[in-house]
Structure 1
Amino acid sequence: MLPSSWKRDVASGLVVLIPVIVTAYVVAFIFQRLADLPFLQTTLPDNPGLRVLVTLVIFTLLVLSVGYLMRTAVGDYVEGLLDDVMNRIPLLRVVYNASKMAVETALTGTDELQKPVKITTWHGHRMTAFKTGKTTPDGREVLFLPTSPNITTGFVVEVEPGEYTETDESVEDALTRVLSAGFGESRSKSVPIDVVEEDE
């Protein structure tokens, strides 16, 4: 049996490496398929540099086309269907959601994600939630309680300001823990979890 610390290290390593490897493989696969298009092979057989340039242009147009499609009702349906299919596959759903969140964070940043907090939910369990910056007409704060490892689903909860616990944890650290189903270790050591538990 491996020591528990080794198991954590293996899990943390896989959380980092698998999305990177899968993403690199997918990009390389798409690029190669585009480069092997028949009309490129026939029109630019002896000019690999130009073929690479044309492939990049086609890839860029493909990205823009898919991006435009995602802004339509059809795109929303396709994305929802894809998320549903991916999240039915046990191991792949972790990789898919981690990769998706990594890309979204890299491209859009975490400005729209407010400070993570701790709330006590059903049966006295404490869970990670995120402030949305919104409040209800009666003064309650609106929080988003994501599911793990698929943070694209979750619960919108309305709580009194004193019904959650503030932490010094960063958005990135909280997302790492939720996306990795608890296996990813938080980089923030300033406020240990057990200290927050004692304050409740």
Structure 2
Amino acid sequence: MKKYFIAGILVWAPLSITVWVIAWGLGLLDGVFGSVMHAIIVVLPRDAALDVQHFRDLPGVGILIVIAVIMLTGFLAISFAGQWWLKIWDKFVNRIPIVRSIYSSVQQVSSTLFSGSGQAFSKALLIRYPHADSWVIAFQTGVPAREVTAKLGEDYVNVFLPTTPNPTSGFFMIVPRAQTIELEMSVEEALKHIVSMGSVPPNSSSGLTPPQSPRHF
């Protein structure tokens, strides 16, 4: 009975989690559209508001419209006129005291994560954590800030150490490059290995890079 129960969980758990994540994402998009439509309904006359409400109640319409708006925004953003308007918008937002700090931070993180030329999660590394006799898999996210580099006086790298089995949380660390071991596995393979708590081996034939000569902090 225990064997059958575990086998059933292994079949249903990935499917259930996948459906839940997709449903959460679609619900989030639909919620964004619903908020916009609610604001429109409030300012419209009664008859027009009823027509808009009926249109809003159609299943899937909100998701399709949000996706279409995102695609249209992206198309306009890469055009010459769109880039000019984005510069005007950035200047306007950066003049608002509290908003500018949040907006600029999110903008920089988004540009780093979604840009193909960014350094975020560029490679998987082995680092020593939480003590010198144990190793964990982390991801290189770039190099330290200029001030940090000047004060440390050595070659350091920024790494993100994800937690298991939830890789969306973790630790940001600055470690010496000499005390890291670069892995040949891809970032995707390393992430699967972490999420599975080491039970799913990498697909590459090389797997983990053999440990090099011992290093000490």
1:165 Cα deviation (Å)?
A: 2.0
Larger radius of gyration between Structure 1 and Structure 2: 2
Q: Check 1:147–1:46 CA distance in 2 against 1; reply closer, same or farther (3 A cut).
A: closer
Task: Report the Cα offset of residue 24 of structure 1.
Answer: 0.7
Aligned match of 1:116: 124
Match of 2:23 among 16, 21, 24: 21
Name the CA distance, whole Å, in 1 between partners of 2:32 and 2:198: 31
Going from structure 1 to structure 2, the CA distance change for 1:189 and 1:141 (only over 3 Å counts) comes to same
Residue from 38, 43, 48 that aligns with 1:39: 43
Instruction: Tell me how far apart the structure 2 counterparts of residues 186 and 13 of structure 1 sit (CA, whole Å).
Output: 21
**How far off its partner does 1:144 sit?**
1.1
In the alignment, which of 141, 156, 159 is matched to residue 176 of structure 2?
A: 159
Paired residue for 1:97?
Answer: none
Preserved contact between residue 124 and residue 190 of structure 2 (Cα < 8 Å): yes
Q: Distance in 1 between matches of 2:192 and 2:206?
A: 16
Gaps of 5+ in 2: 56-60, 74-85, 213-217
Q: Quick one: structure 1 residues 108 and 7, their matched pair in 2 at CA, closer, same or farther if it must change by over 3 Å? A: same
Structure 1 portions without partners, runs of 5+: 80-100
Q: Deviations over 1:68-119 (max 9, x none)?
A: 6896235689x8xxxxxxxxxxxxxxxxxxxxx9xx69x8146332211111
Secondary structure at the aligned position of 2:19 is classed as helix
TM-score normalised to structure 1 length: 0.54
- Distance verdict in 2 for CA 1:165–1:74, change over 3 Å: closer
Q: Give distance in 2, aligned partners of 1:186 and 1:41.
A: 61
CA contact (8 A) 1:11 1:183 kept: no
Counterpart residue type for residue 122 of structure 1: P
Deviations for 1:6-41, whole angstroms, at most 9, x for unmatched residues? 545544444533221111122223323433433357
Please report the RMSD computed on the Cα atoms of aligned residues, expressed in angstroms. Answer: 4.9
Moved more, 31-40 or 15-24: 31-40
1:72 match: 100
2:148 equivalent to 1:129: no
SS of the residue 1:122 aligns to: coil
Kindly tell me the number of residue pairs found equivalent between the two proteins: 165
Q: TM-score, normalised by structure 2?
A: 0.51
Task: Name the CA distance, whole Å, in 2 between partners of 1:33 and 1:2.
Answer: 47
